[in-house]
Structure 1
Amino acid sequence: MSIVAVMDLRLLSSFLAVVEEGHFARAAARLFLSPAAVTQHVRRLESDLGTRLLNRNPVSPTPAGERLAGHARTLLAAANAALDDVAEAARAPAAAERPLRVGIMGHGSAELTPASVNAFRRARPHVPVELRQLDFTEHVSALVEDRVDVAFVRPAPADERITADVLTTEQRIVAVPESSPLADARDTGALLADIADLPFFTVPGHTPRTFTDYLYFDCAARRRSPHVALTPQEVLTGVVTGRAAGSGLKSFARYYAWPGAVFVPVLDVPHESSYLAVRALDRNPEVRIFRALALALAREMGPRISA
């Protein structure tokens, strides 16, 4: 049996409602169906997939059910977005396709960024995609000012106008020149106390506080270099010339392997995440489709990226 035949959206909707409600009757009431119909949908899905998806007493997902629930959310979100897109096309059949503007801060979410863009291009080949590089000051403003539609950023924007989903979670690193005494710790790692005197680069005053807290490991007193940087390339210019130190996620080292720069893991700080951010009230179906695809890929690729 093909996967398309198995993934009946009605069955998925009933299954996901039971998982989220933890009860067949409550799920039925939420869907305006009878409990018997919801039970039949779950049984059909289990039969089609050849595995038990729900424990019955009490109701809880099996390991297979947990996995399917994540896929179900993605598929249903994509389906709803597709219906919105068709409805929009019916209202304005002659309208030209608006490009989807994708903002990327630094290297975004590592390998997940190009994978998400390529997946969207395959799914929506008629929708133009514009990639826009964001600097450190545009952590929030690019979305709020409608210059991009989705944005790969870090950390999560502290702004109620923006919704952000975790894509990857990684160890933190600092970037120092080869001449730094800390460079010897590239394999063993360093502690927060070891980096206290590093001359971290400076960002403009209008950079969001959320980003500067991330950049300086939540320490306002962290030593600053006169070297001002807005992009990873400018950070590394300061690093290799001995004028500044930088910080980032572990995957930064894969994308910016500059001669003269050394990347040192910081062992005693929490891991940090990269995010896909969108406007909270954006009803654009293309944004919803891109978001659903990125989240599906994050579940598949995330552990490999953060390893």
Structure 2
Amino acid sequence: MQLRQLESFLAVVEEGQFARAAARLFLSPPAVTGHIRQLERELGTPLLRRSPVELTPAGIRLVPYARTMVSAAEAAGDVVKDTGEDREGTLRIGVMTPGATELTPAILRSFSRAQPQVHLTVEGLGFTDFTSAVIENRVDAAFVRPAPQDERVTTDVLTLEPRVVIAPAWGELADADGLYLSDILDQNFVRFPDSTPRALTDYGTFAAARNGTPPKWAADQAGTAQDLMTGVAAGWGIAGTLYSLGRFYLAPDICCRPILNAPWEASALVTRRDDPRPQVEAFRRVAQLLARTLGPKLLPTSPPPVPGPLSEPGPGGRTSHGR
């Protein structure tokens, strides 16, 4: 999905005609038609009915998202201009899957549109690269989860999300619509490599709720988020993550279940604290802008409800026994 496609889509919606939309965008009518057809192919559904021009239900749902994306991209250009010099260069961006989910490609697209002379490269990060890839100057910025606390880096929180557990879709936890911490702490957890930072291991195993009791580790370990999901699907164990992973990555052998009494956690953009380059500051400001404008649209409007009293139920007291 490209911004020029969204701009053409919005112009047709607002002008009511392809010809007027093309004139407004200084394009030919076939170019506008081509943009919308490409968008419809990518999304797999019609967005507009022709003669007369009318929105389909899918088109109606797309309009507010398209307006937000186009506005954010325009604002990103202003943000970049405010940082001063218009320098060339390369920014190396690390992504610990799934990063900030939809925000990650939106930030990359908006920055590239606003500052095309800066070349962006993207590198996948494993669990052991949580902050070390930035600190050791292997990447210039990294999308990670949870938000690290490290004085050597600058951390910009992009989303604040409910916690979920990923578990085998054929396992006992799949029968519950929602779970409490007491339902999962005694389960086997997929093991992280020994060199994984403590903050990430604690996050993945809900360490704050354990009162110092170590997790039960599965025999096999996972070094990346993809490895982790494969291990869960294979039945090695379970793992804690954020709400957006379950919405962004769907796999037939994995289920995501909300942990109703776990504190929310953050995804973040991390940069080196001593990096003075204006390109890095511009990238941070674009990320902050899109997190404010797009981030809330990607999350629940409120925390998942906790049925009954706020205290946890007794053993086996899950919220639902059947889906």
Question: TM (normalized to structure 2)?
Answer: 0.65
- How many residues in Structure 1 have an aligned counterpart in Structure 2? 222
Tell me if 1:142 matches 2:122. no
Provide, for residues 69-103 of structure 1, a one-character-per-residue CA deviation record: whole Å limited to 9, x for no partner: xxxx989864442x2x34xx5xxxxxxx4311111
1:121 is the counterpart of 2:112: yes
1:239 Cα offset (Å):
1.2
* One-letter identity of the residue aligned with 2:129: E
In structure 1, distance between residues paired with 2:76 and 2:89? 23
- Aligned residue number for residue 191 of structure 1: 180
Counterparts of 1:123 and 1:76, CA distance in 2: 8
Q: Secondary structure at the match of 1:282?
A: coil
CA contact (8 A) 1:235 1:244 kept: no
1:272 counterpart residue number: 265
Alpha carbons 1:154, 1:273 under 8 Å: kept = yes
CA distance in 2, matches of 1:157, 1:272: 11
Structure 2 residue 224 is the aligned partner of structure 1 residue 224: no
> Gaps (5+ residues) in structure 2?
1-74, 301-323
Specify the code of the residue in structure 1 equivalent to 2:206.
F
Contact kept in structure 1, 2:92 and 2:139, CA below 8 Å: yes
Q: Can you give the 5+ residue segments of structure 1 that lack an aligned partner in the other structure?
A: 1-72, 90-96
Describe the SS at the equivalent of 2:118: coil
Given that residues 77 and 288 in structure 1 are in contact (C-alpha distance below 8 angstroms), is that contact kept between their aligned partners in structure 2?
Answer: no
Distance apart, 1:179 and its partner CA = 2.3
Amino acid at match of 1:271: W
Q: Distance in 2 between matches of 1:277 and 1:165?
A: 6
Q: In the TM superposition, what are the counterparts of 1:202-241 in structure 2 within 5 Å? A: 202-218=191-207, 219=210, 221-241=214-234
- The one-letter code of the counterpart of 1:200 is F
Percent same amino acid at aligned positions? 41
Q: Secondary structure at the match of 1:197?
A: coil
Shift of 1:113: 0.5
Post-superposition CA distance 1:245-282 (Å, at most 9, x none): 12211110123211111111100010111001111111
| Letter of the structure 1 residue corresponding to residue 111 of structure 2 | F
The DSSP-based 3-state class of the residue aligned with 1:99 is: strand
Give the aligned residue type for 1:237. T
Residue 100 of structure 1: which of 85, 91, 98 is its match?
A: 91
User: Is the counterpart of residue 201 in structure 1 residue 201 in structure 2?
Assistant: no
Local SS of the residue matching 1:227: strand
User: What's the CA shift string for 1:169-194, capped at 9, x where partnerless?
Assistant: 11111111122111011xx3100000
1:158 is matched with which residue?
149
Does residue 242 (structure 1) correspond to residue 231 (structure 2)? The answer is no
Instruction: Specify the alignment match of 1:40 in structure 2.
Output: none
- Say if 1:227 and 1:244, in contact at 8 Å, map to a contact too: no
Structure 1 segment 251-262 matched on structure 2, within 5 A: 251-262=244-255
**Cα RMSD over matched residues?**
1.8
How many Å separate the matches in 2 of 1:181 and 1:157? 32
What letter matches 1:165 in structure 2? D
8 Å CA contact 1:173, 1:264 repeated in 2: yes
Query: Which residue number in structure 1 is paired with residue 308 of structure 2?
Result: none
Q: Is the contact made by 2:77 and 2:115 (CA closer than 8 Å) also made in structure 1? A: no
What is the letter of the counterpart of residue 194 of structure 1?
D
Query: Which TM-score applies when normalising by structure 1?
Result: 0.69
Match of 1:226, as an amino acid? A
1:252 aligned counterpart, secondary structure: helix
Query: Does 2:287 match 1:294?
Result: yes
